[in-house]
Structure 1
Amino acid sequence: MYSFLTTENWDDYELIDSGNFEKLERFGQYYVARPEPQAIWDKHLSEQEWQRMANAVFTRDKNSTEKGQWQLKKGMPEQWYINYNYNDLKLRFRLGLSSFKHVGLFPEQDSNWKYIYDTTRKLQTKPPRVLNMFAYTGAASLAAKAAGADITHLDSVKQVNFWARDNMEASNLDNVRWVVEDAMKFARREVKRGNTYNGIILDPPSYGRGPNGEKWQLENELNEMIKLCRELLDKTDYFLLINLYSIGFSAMILDNLMRETFGVQVQNEELGELYLHDDGNRKLPLGTFFRFTSVMK
């Protein structure tokens, strides 16, 4: 089933406007303007309205396509907290203004967090073992943990894992296994050890580096990573979720990879796109996903 999924019913987040390669968002009480390469249409609001509303504006350095600086209005903190609630799931995230335009959270992942929480709770294994690779600041890890999982959170950047730990503590959770390592090396070693997981979550970047300079390039590494996940995924009680944010990377690629690699394990599958909708009723695409599970809805 091909789906278009969006973020809904989140009091502390809203995409206000998008266009001219930018987006204006509300995180809690603060409004943030930053670049967005897929917003190629015109803005719905005027430039004056953007300037009036935005508490923080990100501008790129002249000699960089990634790094830049934030311009802050008076009273705008560099760090603040927002809440996330879904049924019995109650999380709290620390946000911060990074030099790469990120704030520590990807709001379009809302539907995936809900899926992780609901599916983990329905797994027969108690507690289910869940592995989250390329885990960033831990929202998906905490959704699994809150659902009762024995969760392993892996990211190659130590400071990001510290950030995820802050989110865990703010969410009144504990006992997450933190791993700072190159994802491919970790997965290969886990296969050799014969370890398996009931749930695997993947949100790999287009390009990245491991803690010792290991290179990750999505189109070159993804096929092997998926094959390793086949060996790591439990054969009877399981789910797997992968999300990609890479312009030009079709969901059909994920469909081919998953069906070719996992065969009959691909059950109750969903694939499609994640998007955010702004107040002008435009849909901003922000990634493709594929997920499947042994759990019946």
Structure 2
Amino acid sequence: MILLTPTLHTDYELLDCGNFEKLERFGSYVLARPEPQAVWDKSLTDAQWNDQAHAIFSRDKGSQEKGNWRLQAKMPERWTFSYATPLLALKAKLALSSFKHVGIFPEQAVNWDYIADITRTMSVDKPTVLNLFAYTGLASLAAKSHGADVTHVDAVKPVITWSRENMELSGLDGIRWVVEDALKFVKREVRRGKKYNGLILDPPAYGRGPDGEKWLLEEQINELLGLCALLLEKDNYFFVINLYSLGFSALILDNLVESHFGKIMNYQSGELYLQDSFAKKLPLGVFSRFSDISV
């Protein structure tokens, strides 16, 4: 079991975290927002946070999810994030949502790099990659950047539109967009006998499909992974899954993956984290990934 954190962000920095909040820089703008895993004390004072933050998120009374942003005058509604490494040159539109999210999860950069490295190394001309619960699409763009034929599935139509904008910002094209419940889509692909070289999953703890389908991680993840095992090619393959749910450990994910995929090559699992400027490590979910290609 390993711990992974990105090392090459230039447009992102975790400045401080604690007291159930995190202070982050995205490009030129600093945001303060809730973080349930930051149970320790802040390193900076509240006054220092307020002086630095261009936007501060506060939850609505009685809500665990929705809320509002308090903005400084110089804070735009939208701005652009860049991620550049020797393997990737991605851009994404960021925006302040009523659910505290901004459009990317920066800790996932370790998986963007992994997906890019695996995809470029495959001995097939155009690997087929399926991204489920795909949100605004940085993982889709990582695969597309190295020639993959990408199918991007998300249940929220405006998020698909956002993903398309990120594709265009990154100078890419040709991704297949699907607005559908992920489990329903996978069941249909299995019936069709479809196969993919790469599977990427980032399922939420709970959610709704476009037709009101109910998703509960603990009730449906076992079924979903069983179906995904039927979709994955036997050669030139990779699999990546992330879970951000306080009730799920990496050991649970290990058991699920190993029970459905059998003999696994080059297997990695553990926690993703970000380190703030005071060296505090903020855990941000568990992951599992494997491939028959060693990178």
TM interval, shorter chain, is over 0.9
* TM-aligned CA deviation for residue 283 of structure 1: 0.3
1:75 corresponds to:
74
2:123 corresponds to:
124
1:165 corresponds to:
164
Distance 1:287 1:105 in 2: 14
* TM-aligned CA deviation for residue 59 of structure 1: 0.4
What is the letter of the counterpart of residue 243 of structure 1? N
* TM-aligned CA deviation for residue 63 of structure 1: 2.3
* TM-aligned CA deviation for residue 226 of structure 1: 0.3
What is the letter of the counterpart of residue 40 of structure 1? V
Distance 1:105 1:17 in 2: 18
* TM-aligned CA deviation for residue 251 of structure 1: 0.5
* TM-aligned CA deviation for residue 124 of structure 1: 1.5
What is the letter of the counterpart of residue 32 of structure 1? L
Distance 1:94 1:296 in 2: 32
Matches for 1:97-116 after TM superposition, within 5 Å:
97-116=96-115
* TM-aligned CA deviation for residue 14 of structure 1: 0.2
2:135 corresponds to:
136
* TM-aligned CA deviation for residue 296 of structure 1: 2.2
Does residue 289 of structure 2 align to residue 296 of structure 1?
A: no
Matches for 1:222-261 after TM superposition, within 5 Å:
222-261=221-260
Contact 2:87 2:113 in 1 (8 A): no
What is the letter of the counterpart of residue 270 of structure 2? G
Distance 2:257 2:97 in 1: 34
Distance 1:272 1:15 in 2: 21
Contact 2:87 2:117 in 1 (8 A): no
Look up the SS of the partner of 1:288 in the other structure: strand
* TM-aligned CA deviation for residue 78 of structure 1: 1.2
2:49 corresponds to:
50
Distance 2:24 2:148 in 1: 32
Contact 2:87 2:116 in 1 (8 A): no
Which contiguous aligned blocks of 4+ residues in structure 1 show a shift greater than 6 angstroms? none
2:276 corresponds to:
278
Does residue 274 of structure 2 align to residue 267 of structure 1?
A: no
What is the letter of the counterpart of residue 287 of structure 2? F
Pick which of 155-164 and 62-71 moved more. Answer: 62-71
Q: What do residues 220-251 of structure 1 show as CA deviations (whole Å, max 9, x unaligned)?
A: 00001001101000011200000000013110
Look up the SS of the partner of 1:243 in the other structure: strand
Contact 2:270 2:288 in 1 (8 A): yes
Distance 1:114 1:137 in 2: 17
Q: What do residues 41-93 of structure 1 show as CA deviations (whole Å, max 9, x unaligned)?
A: 00000111100000000001112111000000011001100110011310011
Q: What do residues 129-188 of structure 1 show as CA deviations (whole Å, max 9, x unaligned)?
A: 000000000000000000110000000000000000000000000000000000011000
What is the letter of the counterpart of residue 139 of structure 1? L
Q: Percentage identity across aligned positions?
A: 59
Distance 2:294 2:111 in 1: 17
The unaligned stretches of length 5 or more in structure 2 are none
Pick which of 134-143 and 251-260 moved more. Answer: 251-260
Pick which of 172-181 and 116-125 moved more. Answer: 116-125
Look up the SS of the partner of 2:40 in the other structure: coil
Look up the SS of the partner of 1:275 in the other structure: strand
Distance 1:91 1:199 in 2: 20
Look up the SS of the partner of 2:262 in the other structure: helix
* TM-aligned CA deviation for residue 7 of structure 1: 1.7
Distance 2:107 2:70 in 1: 24
Q: What do residues 194-232 of structure 1 show as CA deviations (whole Å, max 9, x unaligned)?
A: 000000000000000000000000000000100110100
Does residue 190 of structure 2 align to residue 191 of structure 1?
A: yes
Distance 1:244 1:126 in 2: 31
**How many pairs are equivalent?**
295
1:88 corresponds to:
87
What is the letter of the counterpart of residue 101 of structure 1? K
Distance 1:33 1:169 in 2: 29
What is the letter of the counterpart of residue 98 of structure 2? S
Distance 1:147 1:86 in 2: 13
